Amino acid sequence: MPVRFNYFKNTMTSTIQIYNALRQQIGDQQAEIVTSFIEAKIKEEVSRLAIARLQEQQKELATKGDIANTHLEIEKLRTESEKLRTELSVKIEAVKSDLVKWMFIFFASQLTIQTGIMLTFFKIFIH
């Protein structure tokens, strides 16, 4: 706000200077009319800029509705995340059981192969 006030103050000072310069050229009454017009236009422009700035700030501010919508979206994401976590746990359990099954099959086949090798070895060297 101090920046705008200083801007407005400097503008008012320059309109007084304009008035003094015009007064010598066209007279008091005409100089007052011209400077009043200039001041009115400056005030209109400052008001327009202030309103535009407020509108820009309002675009950036979050309303209670925006915050409520954000909370709803967060809850939705939490629910979705929990659902995905549950699905992932189920898939991990399925992979674990499948892995245990294949480990047992591998173990059983290795045991069978080693037993066959041992029996063959004993038959060859014992007889």
Q: How many CB atoms lie within 10 A of CB 38?
A: 16
Q: How many CB atoms lie within 10 A of CB 35?
A: 21
d(CA 28, CA 20): 9
Per-residue pLDDT at 9: 52
Would you say the C-alpha torsion 14, 15, 17, 18 has a positive or negative sign? positive
Per-residue pLDDT at 12: 53
Per-residue pLDDT at 26: 84
Q: Could you tell me the residue ranges of all domains in the chain?
A: 1-61, 64-127
Per-residue pLDDT at 99: 94
Segments of the chain scoring below 50 in pLDDT: 1-8
CB 46 within 8 A of CB 8: yes
d(CA 36, CA 86): 74
AA identity, residue 58? Q
3-class SS of residue 119: helix
Per-residue pLDDT at 10: 53
Per-residue pLDDT at 57: 80
Per-residue pLDDT at 37: 85
